[in-house]
């Protein structure tokens, strides 16, 4: 509710836990991207979820080049 005043339409809580766990293993660059397939007003198990899943896959595929470039821009770790 607090984030609603910022204009947020959705809040991703799961990625924060994953990112914290990744950082607990040591300092490293981390990133996450999420797409929304369901909404509070719709059940997750319904025919429209398949269409939303396909759309979400297309969005993830579209952002993949940006993540690839980000990864390539990182300095190599010292061994």
pLDDT for the residue numbered 64: 92
pLDDT reported for residue 78: 66
3-state secondary structure of 60: helix
Residues of the chain with pLDDT under 70: 78-79
**Confidence at residue 75, expressed as pLDDT on a 0 to 100 scale:** 84
pLDDT at 34: 83
pLDDT reported for residue 32 = 85
Distant-in-sequence, close-in-space partners of 32: CB < 8 Å, separation ≥ 6: 12, 15, 18, 19
> Which pTM does this prediction carry?
0.59
């Amino acid at each position: 509710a607090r984030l609603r005043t910022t204009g947020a339409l959705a809040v991703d809580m799961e990625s924060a836990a994953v990112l914290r766990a990744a950082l607990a293993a040591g300092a490293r660059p981390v990133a996450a991207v999420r797409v929304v397939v369901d909404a509070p007003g719709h059940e997750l198990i319904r025919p429209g979820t398949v269409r939303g899943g396909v759309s979400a896959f297309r969005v993830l595929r579209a952002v993949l080049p940006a993540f690839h470039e980000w990864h390539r821009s990182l300095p190599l770790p010292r061994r």
